[in-house]
Chains A and B, each alone.
Chain A
Amino acid sequence: MLTRDENELLTRTNRGTPMGEYLRRYWQPVLLESELPRADCPPVRVKLMGEELVAFRDSSDRIGLLDEYCPHRRTSLYWGRNEACGLRCVYHGWKFDVEGHCVDMPNEPAEYGFKERVFTTAYPARAWGGLIWAYLGPRGADEALPPLPEFEWAVVPANQRFVSKRLQESNYLQAVEGGIDSSHVSFLHSTLSAETHVSSTLGLQSAYMWRDKAPRFTVNRTDYGLLIGARRDAEADTYYWRITQFLLPTATIIPGPMNVDAPYNGHFWTPIDDDHCWNFSVSWLPGRPLTEQELQDLQSGNSIHAGVDQKTFLPIRNARNEYLIDRAKQQRDSFTGIEGVSEQDSAVQEAMGRIVDRSREHLGTSDTAIIAARRLLLREARDLQREGRGPAAVQRPAAFRVRSASMLLRRDVSYEETVKDTLTAPVR
């Protein structure tokens, strides 16, 4: 249960809001790297936390992220010409480099020297782990940027990971909360038999999740965010643990199948505005390239990677077509009648409304992980707002080198002691 004020604080992300300022202290994924595939390729519109921007890759392969609107007459630089290390407005020819300097102003007499005095808003952007990341926060006195988080999926070779992107038509926090809620997996993503999901790359096959639908949660505060353990009864002397991470500010890692050499999976949610967010999903293998079969499964639209329109990234199964729900299938064998793990998530999270009123919820002990994530975000955003204390995790990039897991543990074995050293991704 949150107050309305707390809900507002957590969900509003425009510049100047407490959460907007907090999130701007982190690097945020904003595009697939494939959306800016080569130098001087067409620019791409980017909306991030309410800011309308345009991204481009210049002739030197540097990535620029500028205010979408030309400071001259406020038309869109999206129509611009990406040429010779700058983005040129097609209206009057003003041209800007990746740092926002106006480097050409051909419609003004050169002797006036206007261009030296004109800048547009520009944010640092980097390619990292198959994604383009942006930093919208303040810089240090020496103009230093925070380091990029060292997610294992970002540091493995490109052929060991698969990344995708989809539009979600809700506030980012609803999506994040879905990502750390192990309890829903036994329902939303299940079938009517003990085989809870058909995708071979997802860790949802366990019969334990089907048999014990009321996990008990353990949360631990960590340098990167939260370590979340969901414990289910397994055999007479064992528990089944599904261990996930909530990584500040808006990411999760979820385990692959138990005892199988299958990909790890994760999500990162980036607020577009208060009513929409991007879901970046990633699957990776630490030790070998993905096989053709694994790639096919990840691209099938039946895993955590949704089938989407390649221009808009709107899922093919979306609210407008009721996610192509098949009621007969729902009666027969699927809990939802909706295909695709991501689409199942979208259906329930978007149906809550663009920003759910959390003052009207009825939570309980099965919502422990969600409660913990909210409290952590609230605490961090307030620390920044009241005391100017920025998030410590930003300066600890190696803390993000963690892995999730699903495992059987004897009931008399301490979960905390067991996982303490086993969920860290080795440094290569």
Chain B
Amino acid sequence: MTTGPNPSHVIAVEDYGEATLRNLIAHLDVSHSFEHCIYRESELDAVWRLLDIALERGDGAVLPRERLLELRDAIHQAHDFAADEKPHEAAARLRRELRTV
């Protein structure tokens, strides 16, 4: 039996890789309540801080600086959608970003 993403479950954010973003999108897709949006916002905060710190540190080893900047902007926008309780817009913003990879 397979189970889908649980919107009441907070994802452990360990990196800003594609798998993490896809997991985030899957959880955004099934989020609909105030509580769910809070969890999604906290996860997007966690991704954003990894990107921001990578940029501050000048860490271009994993991704080029330009790509890190694009990704951070996308996460910021998705974050603000989640904060506005618009999880599906947040998911759409992340999907658009993944298509540019």
**Chains A and B bind each other:** yes
Contact call A220/B49, Cβ cutoff below 8 A: no
Q: Which of B8, B39, B52 contacts A362 (CB 8 A)?
A: B52
Question: In this complex, what residue of A is CB-closest to B76?
Answer: A1
B69 within 8 Å of A by Cβ? no
Q: Which of B34, B46, B53 contacts A221 (CB 8 A)?
A: B34
A121 within 8 Å of B by Cβ? no
Contact call B52/A375, Cβ cutoff below 8 A: no
Q: Which of A218, A363, A372 contacts B49 (CB 8 A)?
A: A363
Contact call A368/B39, Cβ cutoff below 8 A: yes
Contact call B46/A363, Cβ cutoff below 8 A: yes
Q: With A219-B35, A365-B42, A368-B39 in contact, do A375 and B83 touch (Cβ < 8 Å)?
A: yes
B79 within 8 Å of A by Cβ? yes
B98 within 8 Å of A by Cβ? no
Question: In this complex, what residue of A is CB-closest to B53?
Answer: A362
Q: With A216-B10, A217-B10, A375-B83 in contact, do A364 and B45 touch (Cβ < 8 Å)?
A: yes
Which residues 195-228 in A have Cβ within 8 Å of B in the complex? Answer: 216-221
**Which of chain A's residues have a CB closer than 8 A to the CB of B48?**
1, 362
A367 within 8 Å of B by Cβ? yes
Give the interface size class of chain B.
20 to 34
A258 within 8 Å of B by Cβ? no
Contact call A364/B35, Cβ cutoff below 8 A: no
Contact call A371/B45, Cβ cutoff below 8 A: yes
Q: With A1-B79, A364-B13 in contact, do A371 and B49 touch (Cβ < 8 Å)?
A: no
Contact call B41/A375, Cβ cutoff below 8 A: yes
**Which of chain A's residues have a CB closer than 8 A to the CB of B37?**
375
Interface flags, B18-47, vs A, CB<8A=1, else 0:
000000000000000011011101110110
Interface flags, B37-68, vs A, CB<8A=1, else 0:
11101110110110011000000000000000
Q: With A216-B10, A219-B35 in contact, do A368 and B42 touch (Cβ < 8 Å)?
A: yes
Question: In this complex, what residue of B is CB-closest to A363?
Answer: B45
| A363 to B42 Cα, complex, angstroms | 7
Give A153 Cβ to nearest chain B Cβ, in Å.
27
**Which of chain A's residues have a CB closer than 8 A to the CB of B83?**
375
Give B20 Cβ to nearest chain A Cβ, in Å.
13
Contact call B10/A365, Cβ cutoff below 8 A: yes
Contact call B49/A364, Cβ cutoff below 8 A: yes
| A218 to B42 Cα, complex, angstroms | 12
Give B68 Cβ to nearest chain A Cβ, in Å.
15
Contact call A362/B35, Cβ cutoff below 8 A: no
Question: In this complex, what residue of A is CB-closest to B33?
Answer: A221
Question: In this complex, what residue of B is CB-closest to A416?
Answer: B8
Which residue of B37, B42, B79 has the most chain A CB atoms within 10 A of its CB atom?
B42
Which residues 76-99 in B have Cβ within 8 Å of A in the complex? Answer: 76, 79-80, 83
Which residues 345-364 in A have Cβ within 8 Å of B in the complex? Answer: 362-364
Contact call B35/A221, Cβ cutoff below 8 A: yes
**Which of chain B's residues have a CB closer than 8 A to the CB of A216?**
10
Give B41 Cβ to nearest chain A Cβ, in Å.
6
| A364 to B46 Cα, complex, angstroms | 4
Q: With A1-B48, A217-B10, A219-B35 in contact, do A367 and B53 touch (Cβ < 8 Å)?
A: no
Which residues 1-32 in A have Cβ within 8 Å of B in the complex? Answer: 1, 3
Known A218-B8, A367-B42; 8 more pairs at CB < 8 Å? A1-B76, A363-B45, A365-B11, A365-B42, A371-B42, A371-B45, A375-B34, A375-B83
The list of the 8 closest CB pairs from A to B, nearest first, reads A362-B49, A364-B46, A363-B45, A372-B38, A365-B42, A368-B42, A221-B34, A365-B10
Please list 27 pairs of residues, one from A and one from B, whose beta carbons are closer than 8 Å in the complex, sorted by A's number.
A1-B79, A216-B10, A217-B10, A218-B8, A219-B35, A219-B38, A221-B34, A362-B52, A362-B53, A363-B45, A363-B46, A364-B46, A365-B11, A365-B13, A365-B39, A365-B42, A365-B43, A365-B45, A367-B45, A368-B38, A368-B42, A371-B42, A372-B35, A375-B38, A375-B41, A375-B83, A376-B34
